[in-house]
Every structure is written in structure tokens, then in C-alpha cells.
Amino acid sequence: MRKMKFILFFVAFLVAALSASAQISHGGEPLFNFSGEKVTINQVAMPFVDNDFYLQQDIAMTKGAGPMRVGVLQKTEINVLQQAKIVKDSRGTHFLLEVQSENATFVSLKFSSFKLPDGAELFFYDRSGDFVLGSFNASDVKEDGSFFTQSIPGDAVIIEYNVPQNQEPGELVINEVCHGYKELFSTVEGKGPHGSAEGSCHINVACPEGDDWRDQIRSVVALEIMDQSYAYMCSGALVNNTNLDRTPYVLSAFHCQELDFPPVSQIITYFLYETSSCTSTSGFSNKSVTGATILAKNSYNGGSDFMLLRLNSNIPNNYRPYYAGWDRSASGSNTVGCCVHHPGGDYKKISIPSAVNRISGQYSKFFNVYWFTGANNKGVTEEGSSGSPLFNADRRIIGQLFAGGSSCADMASSDLYGRFYYSWTGAGSNASSLQSWLDPTGSGVTTLDGLDYKDNDGIEGPRTVEPKNLTVYPNPSNGMVHFDVSAIGDANYKVFDMNGRCVKEGRTILTTTEQAVNLGSLPKGVYTMYLYTSNQSYVANVIIVK
């Protein structure tokens, strides 16, 4: 086998604006961060991590061993309720705790126990107060009872947990702290604040080269992948399926999960990271969804190096997601389109190939992609672009980036993209192919166009048909509302008062034996509840009595 350089995805974590929390949350502001109520809080210091040790290990690593490592996971047992500073006032009980990891460039937290009562709110922020996540509540817990945050810049995270009066505080136990050792948040002059491309030939997606690809650009995402010991970065793209139901499938590369200490323990997906203009050195922040399941994958060893994820949460409409189309045909699909990617963790770039060729022999399951050179430059890839989608001229995905040698210093080198055609059937099983997931209707189509987050009539999200009436019981209710629907799995709900204000929202898991939501935190009154499944919405009037 000839020596190759894998293209790895080096992207920094989100630096959010003060007014916008990136991780899916429920809004609001911390009480002690912005109101001027500064208090001395308790601190938990994690064991020292030698950043230089891991940086030197990275230098010595053979390229192509897997995705780019960016953080070290430390096991711990931090009981927030027992170790926090406690402040009591007329609003309730407030728990304040700082988790510090010396010299970390970013920190994220994983909770093994996450039990919040109705009305409780949880926030996370850095020492400056400029980066805020939250609020989070009882609806945000994962199926296994855990919860984890996206990465927060700096070497400390402040936890603010506010519990209303006369409520038991629940449980909050941290069992894992991610210590970032790569300088992902530093600002490099002329580069994005989340990272820096090595080369200077890359083209921002806001430039005219991206004008024909605005929808496809919105489909590209970044992936933070963790195993039992480390955090890594890779990339992918949202893809459409023949149900046209906006199931949050993400296509990426097999080697992104081929880690030193499997299995993958958690995945965070980041959206919208691009400059505000063609020449700008500042831009939009990412937004994130926590949790994903690997549905199918097939190795580069005899396969096409693909991985298909399903995000564990639906994607909010303010993320403006686009579900890219695809072409699985054996011929006629390799017309020149574009590649969208994040070289070196810099802002999102677009690269236009000069040629996309089918090849034979050892790499027959890959496209060989060539780039323009010299003054004709239209972008290339480099470390940081792995898993990025290759679109053909019809704006459909035909592959994902596997390996190659191109860079701004070597525009003449080509890159390999795993062919969608071979990923479709993979190794023949549902767990090694795309077919059953992206063609659940059994249509047999060879091409599928993309799908926006809203329909042409302006109705947003998966609600493509009129809501069905939902029978709830008991009604009136003291707060625990039961119902029966045919859907099984994740569902979102929103509750509106008589003035049309959304007063409660969350996520529930529909099973054959449990279909209910707890609205007990709402005052008595008449409400309208909407329930959203993957392909249907429901509506009911609910009367709450105390």
C-alpha cells in the first residue's frame, strides 16, 4: 500500500456570543453572572494535565491513525449539590461551583446523574461570563440518565444551578471532565477564532464561489467524538432520506470513529461556523446538538470509509439545517461540483475541483479529486477537512473525504473520497450500508434532492401536514398528562398559554407503555399542547387544575 496522508478534521469548539447559547437549551440568563450578584464560590481543581506531553505524542503519531485528538478525559466524582456554594434567597436555593483544570484550553463536563425537578434551571459559563450555556432543565437528560456539555473556552467552568422554593434539588454528579490541550480558542490574526488553516489559499463560503451552494453549505457539520480517554474532531453532512421527514442523519467517515480506546462514548455535532462576508475574519458561531448513534459504517479496508450517524435530538430551526441530496448511481455522478470543509479548524471553506475521476485497482471504491493550481486556485483541502462531503454538479453528495495529500503548498496533489455508490450497499447488512436508512420507503431511486428545514409554504421543521387532534387524559389534570399516539421514539412538545406564549417545551420518549408528559410546574389554567414526532404533529387543549 502506498503511503498516504489522511485528511483529519481540526476544528475548534464554539465561542458563542453573550446573547446566544449554542447548545440546545431553553433560554434565560444566570442570576449571578449578569445581575451583578457576584459571590465567592467553591472550587474543585482537577489533577494536573501536561499539555506538552500530549502535543509531543501528536507530533510523533503516524498520520492516518484516526481523527485528530484534541482533549484528554479525566474520570472524577463531583457531587455538585454537596460541593457547591449554597445561596438561599426569596427566589429559592442556588448552587454555585467552579470546576477548574489548570492550563486547559477548553473544558467540558459529563454528568452520570442528572435529575432536575420541575422549575429548576442549570447554567454553565466561563469566568468572564461572555460564554454561557443554558438554561437546561429536566427535559434535557439523555436516555441513560446522563448529560454532557459542549466545550467551554478556558480552564474553568462555573456551574449555576437554581432550584425554586419548596422543591427538592434532585441530583447532579459529574463523572468526567474533558481537558482541552490544543489551543483551539486563540485568535490568530487574519484567521478564524476557532482555529487556523495552515495554508492561505482557502476560500470562505461567503465568497462568490459559494453562491451556487448556499443550501449545501448549511448541511456541513463538525463532530466532536469521545471515547473512554480522549476527545477527537471530525466532520460530516446532514443527508436526506426518501421519507422526506428530516430525520437527522449525518454522513461522515469510518476512520472518524476508529479510535484507540473504543467504543465511542459521546458525540456532539456543531452547526453554522462561517464568516459573515467573503473577506471577513469574524463570523457566525456554531450551534450544537449533543448525542448521536452510529447506525452504519464500513471500513476503508475493502470498503469506502463511510459512517452514518443519527443525532439523538431533532435540529432546531434556528440552526437552519439543510438535508443534502445524494446520488448513488454507478455512472454519470462524478461531474465537477464542490467540497465544503473546515481546514485546520478555520471558518468554513469551499473548494472547487478541476476534475473528479473514477479510478481502478486498490482504490476503486474512491473518487480521485484534483484541484486547480497556481493563479487558477479555487481552494484545496488540508488537515482539518476529513469527512467533508463532495458534491457533484447536480448539488448531490457523491462521496466523503478519506485521504490525500493536497494543501496550499501542494495544490497538484489529489485527494480520495469514498464513493456513495459503494457505501449504498456496503458489506451487505443494515449496519454496513446506507440503503435501509436513506431509502426506508424501498423506492429504489438512484438520486434524491436535498430538503430544507422549512417547506415552501413557510411551515418550519418536520410538520409537513396539519396537526392531528390528540386525546389526552385525564383532562382536567393536576399536571401528569397521558396520551396515545402510534409513533414510537423521540418526540418534542411545546405548551402555549391563552395569550399564545410558549410556557413550557421539552423532549419525551414515546414507548408502547409510556406516553406522557409532566406539566405539573404550570399554574392552573387552559393550555394548548403540540406534540411533534418525526413525521406528524398533534394538538390538544389541556386544562390544569391544582
Burial (CB count within 10 angstroms: exposed 0-12, middle 13-18, buried 19+), residue 435: middle
Active-site hit among 112, 386, 388, 407: 386
For residue 503, count other CB atoms closer than 10 A to its CB. Answer: 15
Q: What is the CA radius of gyration of the chain?
A: 24
SS3 of 364, please?
coil
Q: Where in 80-146 does DSSP place strands (E)?
A: 85-89, 92-100, 106-115, 121-125, 132-136
For this structure, is 386 an active site residue? yes
SS3 label, residue 54: helix
Is 179 catalytic? The answer is: no
| Active-site entry in 255, 342, 415, 490 | 255
CB 349 within 8 A of CB 197: yes
- Name 318's Cβ contacts closer than 8 Å, sequence gap at least 6: 287
Judge whether 195 and 16 are in contact, CB under 8 Å.
no
**Alpha-carbon span 213 to 149, nearest angstrom:** 31
Among residues 305, 327, 415, 490, which one is catalytic?
305
Question: E strand or H helix at 81, and its extent?
Answer: helix 80-83
The H-or-E segment that residue 218 falls in is helix 214-219
Quickly list H helices, 358-488.
420-425, 435-438
Asked if residue 157 lies in contact with residue 109, where contact means CB atoms within 8 angstroms, the answer is: yes
User: If you search the block for the grid coordinates 471515547, which residue do you land on?
Assistant: 227
Q: Which amino acid is at 137?
A: N
CA 32 distance to own-chain centroid: 28
What's the farthest any 2 CA atoms get from each other in the chain?
Answer: 73
Q: Which residues are catalytic?
A: 255, 305, 386
